[in-house]
Amino acid sequence: MPSPIPPLPAPSRRLGLALALLLGASGASAHQLWLEQADQVIHLRFGEYADNLRERSPGLLDKLVQPQARLQRGDQLLPLALRRGSDGFALPMRAGRGESLLVQDDSYPLIERRDGERVLSHSAWIPAARWVLGPGALAPQLTLDLLPQDEPGSFRVVYKGQVLPKARVEVVSPSGWSRSVLADEQGRLRLELPWRGQYVLEVKHQDPSGGERAGQRYEQALYVTTLSLVQPLGPAAPPPPPPTAPSQP
């Protein structure tokens, strides 16, 4: 007997409150990068997958100056050139089994937390995305990485090359349905995906140690990484929610 399909909650801006408190009033505070396949092109989107929100140019998308893209093939990391469009970036290719596409943006403008005219702190926001065709263990490459394992439905969370215990991962389908899963002490988790189609898994991690970007100090960093994958089996997913209007820059 197949597992029962969980009920659909109303779409919500999942990270909005937590990240707004951390990063202040910024259009990027609840956003993420994710990768999706369409025909023979991989698209990099910036927005909120669960809300069907894709930022555009001119607009908030322009704050992504040039995310760094790479193809992971075994022990090789091959640089890729992203092509900017009005609703994201594109790669005219697709990855095969055993390969993975990686994107990370280390240059997004620092986000200020203010009290009137006084700047209280600076925060760095580091979004990243990974795309895979199917299961298969991969070596971590992103600063905060979410990796498939050999067994279907198994994943691992790694931060700076070390497993991240008790990391919370949110799983989102194109319909906006989501489920939150907590990794174990070894950073591992198992998922059951109810419908066929693409899913985006998201993990976030706050690092209070601070650092420097473009000669400017920041007091804390928030890493937000997604893993996009396609579930080939199961019933058809419910339709996605209506598109959400892009943010005003």
pLDDT in tens, 49-60: 999 999 999 999
Tell which wins on pLDDT, 119 or 105.
Answer: 105
End-to-end CA distance of the chain: 49
* Dihedral angle of Cα 94, 98, 99, 102, to the nearest 10 degrees: 120
Mean pLDDT of all residues in 236-240: 88
pLDDT tens digit string along 128-156? 999 998 788 899 999 999 999 989 899 99
d(CA 247, CA 237): 27
Share of the chain above pLDDT 90, in %: 61
Under the banding of pLDDT at 50, 70 and 90, the label for residue 113 is: confident
On the question of pLDDT at 206 being above 50, the answer is yes
Q: Where in the chain are the domains? A: 16-231
Of residues 247 and 1, the one with the higher pLDDT is 247
Measured in degrees and rounded to the nearest 5, phi and psi for residue 188 equal -105, 150
Mean pLDDT (whole number) for 200-229: 94
What is the model's pLDDT at position 21?
39
Average pLDDT for the chain: 86
166 has a pLDDT exceeding 90: yes
Q: Looking at 15-24, 32-41, 103-112, which range is the least confident one?
A: 15-24
State the Cα–Cα distance between residues 7 and 205, nearest whole angstrom. 28
The residue type at 157: V
pLDDT at position 18: 39
Question: What pLDDT score does 157 carry?
Answer: 98
CA distances in angstroms from 177 to 1, 9, 13, listed in the order given: 22, 6, 12
